[in-house]
Amino acid sequence: MPILVITAVAAERDAVLGGARSWRIPGPDVLAVGAGPAAAAAGTASALARGSYDLVVNAGIGGGFPGVAPVGSTVLATRVVAADLGAQTAEGFVPIEELGFGTSGFEADPRLVTHVGDILRAAGVPLATGPALTVSTVTGTAERAAELAARHAGAAVEGMEGFGVATAAAAHAVPMLELRTVSNAVGPRDRAAWRIPDALRALTAAFAALEGSLTP
């Protein structure tokens, strides 16, 4: 069953490939397509037009919501949400559904999330599950982090590609998962505190554990 893994940058792609290298079954196709939802959607759609896949996984590092997904943990998304797709009004943010011309969320297959989550936990991966928020601007203040957490109950992780990958996967009727390892906390910007090498190692460990389990 061919699997497509989409990452933003080459370091994430190589981390995924490092984990899949130990698989005794054919590994996934892993593509680094660039940062942000537009690059992710275009890269995923192009790959899905070229080949046939049974599952698309958006994988990478991400920001974890404090109290849900600490730095060093791994997040498997139950739902992929475009957190800034809508309109800002004097009364607050209005999601695109309420504007009447689009959708801002895709649910992951709950059976697939349970199955893959069980495999990761059994392998000792410190796992959190919950909504994965996709943003075009990385959150850099406590106020913005609190606003997002209030608007999305149980928000676990923030990244920049999930919604783009999910949109392309849905257009091709292919199931989609988002898996992120937490390099930093969502909140006041402190780039020096990002634990990128640790998060990349966690990504490798997660994919090593997933051999044969990414079955829709």
Instruction: Using the minimum distance from each CB to ligand LNDFFVEH, give the nearer residue, 173 or 192.
Output: 192
Q: How far is the CB of 187 from ligand LNDFFVEH (least distance, A)?
A: 9
| Residues pairing with 87 in the sheet | 94
3-state class (DSSP) for residue 200 = helix
- Residues lying near ligand LNDFFVEH in the complex (CB under 6 A): 8-9, 11-12, 35, 60-63, 135, 138-139, 158-161, 183-184, 186, 196
Residue with smallest beta-carbon separation from ligand LNDFFVEH: 63
Q: How far is the CB of 60 from ligand LNDFFVEH (least distance, A)?
A: 5
**Cα–chain center distance at 102:** 21
Burial class from Cβ neighbours inside 10 Å (0-12, 13-18, 19+) for residue 63 reads: buried
Instruction: Using the minimum distance from each CB to ligand LNDFFVEH, give the nearer residue, 75 or 210.
Output: 75
- Which structure tokens are listed for 7? 């990452």
Q: How far is the CB of 24 from ligand LNDFFVEH (least distance, A)?
A: 28
Q: Report d(CA 162, CA 139) in Å as an integer.
A: 16
120 φ, ψ (degrees, to nearest 5): -65, -45
Q: How far apart are the first and last CA of the chain?
A: 10
Instruction: Using the minimum distance from each CB to ligand LNDFFVEH, give the nearer residue, 45 or 148.
Output: 148
Q: How far is the CB of 154 from ligand LNDFFVEH (least distance, A)?
A: 17
Instruction: Using the minimum distance from each CB to ligand LNDFFVEH, give the nearer residue, 84 or 161.
Output: 161
3-state class (DSSP) for residue 38 = helix
3-state class (DSSP) for residue 140 = coil
Q: How far is the CB of 100 from ligand LNDFFVEH (least distance, A)?
A: 28
Instruction: Using the minimum distance from each CB to ligand LNDFFVEH, give the nearer residue, 105 or 164.
Output: 164
Q: Report d(CA 68, CA 53) in Å as an integer.
A: 32
